[in-house]
Amino acid sequence: MSLGQKNRAKISGVAHWVPEKILSNKELEKMVDTTDEWITSRTGIKERHILEAGKASSDMAAEACKILFEKTGTDPDEIDVIVFGTVTPDMMFPASACLLQTKAGMSKAWGFDVSAACCGFAYSLVIGAQFIESGSAKKVLVVGSDKMSSIVDYTDRNTCILFGDAAGVVLLEKSEDEKLGILDYYNTVDGNGAQYLNMPGGGSLNPPTHETVDKKMHTIYQDGKNVYQYAVKGMSEASALIVERNGLSGKDVGLFVPHQANKRIIDSAAQRMGLKDDQVIINIEKYGNTTAATIPMALSEAVDAGRIKKGDYVVIAAFGGGFTCSSILVKWAY
């Protein structure tokens, strides 16, 4: 479904933040039965960043906000709405958006969290764009921030090698040129996928007890093989669909900005669209899978490196727990 046409929303700034501490594949070799060679060849990951104890997703987002406000010359009081994608909120409630509102000094903003796992940022971007399109907000802050280390079982080699901590943020405003901005999106959910990727403990189904802790129900469960198959299909189809239904082909894509879960999944999606290496951003080797943060992080690094220019078609795509799937077509506005 196309976004409404009243106003066009554009991304007018993007920033990211990662904690200093690095957990390398070599260090993981000492923690579980794995090898740098296995992790690199199966996932593309070399290292990931880990946030210190006592800090949470909203703290990383606040750091990213500081950089964004500085870069874009934005007064935090100008932000009307905060849409915060995360699967690791600081607490069950209040929303991390509320905590970030105070930490980053956005005194006039209201906001809420979006739980969509690896599509947390992509869904939040689409939601945030609606406020600009309807004319009900002038500036929207969209966040993807996850402290995945807080829900990883560091004795489970199937999952602990995959994830890292980080935050990325973007600013949305009305586009003066209606040809530039967020042009189209395609979002889907398949709840049958819930069984393959979840964290079963801590919610209303399995509230925390000694038993849920003993059974490690407060950490990520993933049936990697199944998720992999769905992810390859989902990401490839969604990214190809958004390109094709807008009358474009692979050669028109300035940059493909995929969720960074596994380099092999990204390669398959890029191949399906017929993209060359320089049309794809891959930074999974440095950060691992940071869930909601991967896409704003990749966007931010790409902009900083001059890999995205005004007028470029940018294709965003994500797949994750739910199953959730998203692709978004943007014509870059600055």
Smallest separation (angstroms) from ligand UT7 to the CB of 47: 14
- How far is 240 from 117, CA to CA, in rounded Å? 22
Q: Does residue 261 bind ligand UT7 (CB under 6 A)?
A: yes
Smallest separation (angstroms) from ligand UT7 to the CB of 157: 4
Place of tokens 């042009």: 183
From 118, 119, 160, 325, the catalytic residue:
118
Smallest separation (angstroms) from ligand UT7 to the CB of 122: 12
The stretch near ligand UT7 (CB under 6 A) out of 93-101, 222-230, 273-281, 308-316 is: 222-230
Asked whether the CA dihedral 176, 178, 243, 293 is positive or negative, the reply is positive
Smallest separation (angstroms) from ligand UT7 to the CB of 63: 23
Return the number of other C-beta atoms located less than 10 Å from residue 191's C-beta. 9
- Which residues 19-38 are close enough to bind ligand UT7 by CB under 6 A? 34, 38
Is 118 catalytic? The answer is yes
Q: Does residue 46 bind ligand UT7 (CB under 6 A)?
A: no
- How far is 23 from 25, CA to CA, in rounded Å? 7
- How far is 112 from 91, CA to CA, in rounded Å? 13
- How far is 162 from 25, CA to CA, in rounded Å? 10
The stretch near ligand UT7 (CB under 6 A) out of 55-63, 86-94, 187-195, 260-268 is: 260-268
Q: Is the distance from CB of 11 to CB of 333 less than 8 angstroms?
A: yes
Q: Does residue 231 bind ligand UT7 (CB under 6 A)?
A: yes
Q: Total residues at the site for ligand UT7 (CB under 6 A)? A: 19
**Nearest CB to ligand UT7, comparing residues 13 and 321:** 321
- How far is 24 from 47, CA to CA, in rounded Å? 4
- Amino acid symbol at 168: G
The stretch near ligand UT7 (CB under 6 A) out of 146-154, 167-175, 178-186, 221-229 is: 221-229
- How far is 147 from 63, CA to CA, in rounded Å? 14
**Nearest CB to ligand UT7, comparing residues 171 and 281:** 281
Distances (CA, A) of 112 to 59, 85, 129, 320: 16, 9, 14, 20
- Contacts with ligand UT7, 133-172, as mask; x by CB under 6 A: ------------------------xx--x-----------
DSSP SS3 for 123: helix
Query: Can you name the residues that pair with 85 across neighbouring β-strands?
Result: 114, 144
User: Catalytic residue positions?
Assistant: 118, 259, 289
**Residue ranges binding ligand UT7 (CB under 6 A):** 34, 38-39, 42-43, 118, 157-158, 161, 224-225, 227-228, 231, 261-262, 265, 289, 320
